[in-house]
Amino acid sequence: MDNLLPESEKQKIIEKLNEKGVKTHCPMCGHNNFIIADGYFTNPMQSGFQGGLVLGGPSIPTIAIVCSNCGFTSQHALGVLGLLNQPDKK
């Protein structure tokens, strides 16, 4: 199965997180090895649930890093990292 994210893109994300001073020390179990989730997350936002779940509305696109020991998952908004709308995206 193909990876969703190419290695070069993961490398760019790692560099950006390092640049921002993100700690790779797990706040839950104390281990210090995180792996990058193999794909972006989109977190849909909506004002309520009266009309059920709404897909395709506003969302917060993120990349997640996952503790390789306990699975604790930390999400980082791509917009804040400056990683949205990259010109090399098809």
Q: Is 72 in the site for Zn ion (CB under 5 A)?
A: yes
Closest CA to 17 of 87, 75, 89, 68: 75
Q: Which is nearer to Zn ion, 70 or 84 (CB)?
A: 70
Among 29, 45, 80, 84, binds Zn ion (CB under 5 A): 29
Q: Is 35 in the site for Zn ion (CB under 5 A)?
A: no
Q: Is 17 in the site for Zn ion (CB under 5 A)?
A: no
Cβ proximity of 73 and 65 under 8 Å? yes
Q: Other C-beta atoms within 10 Å of 5: how many?
A: 16
Task: By CB under 5 A, name the binding residues for Zn ion.
Answer: 26, 28-29, 67, 69-70, 72
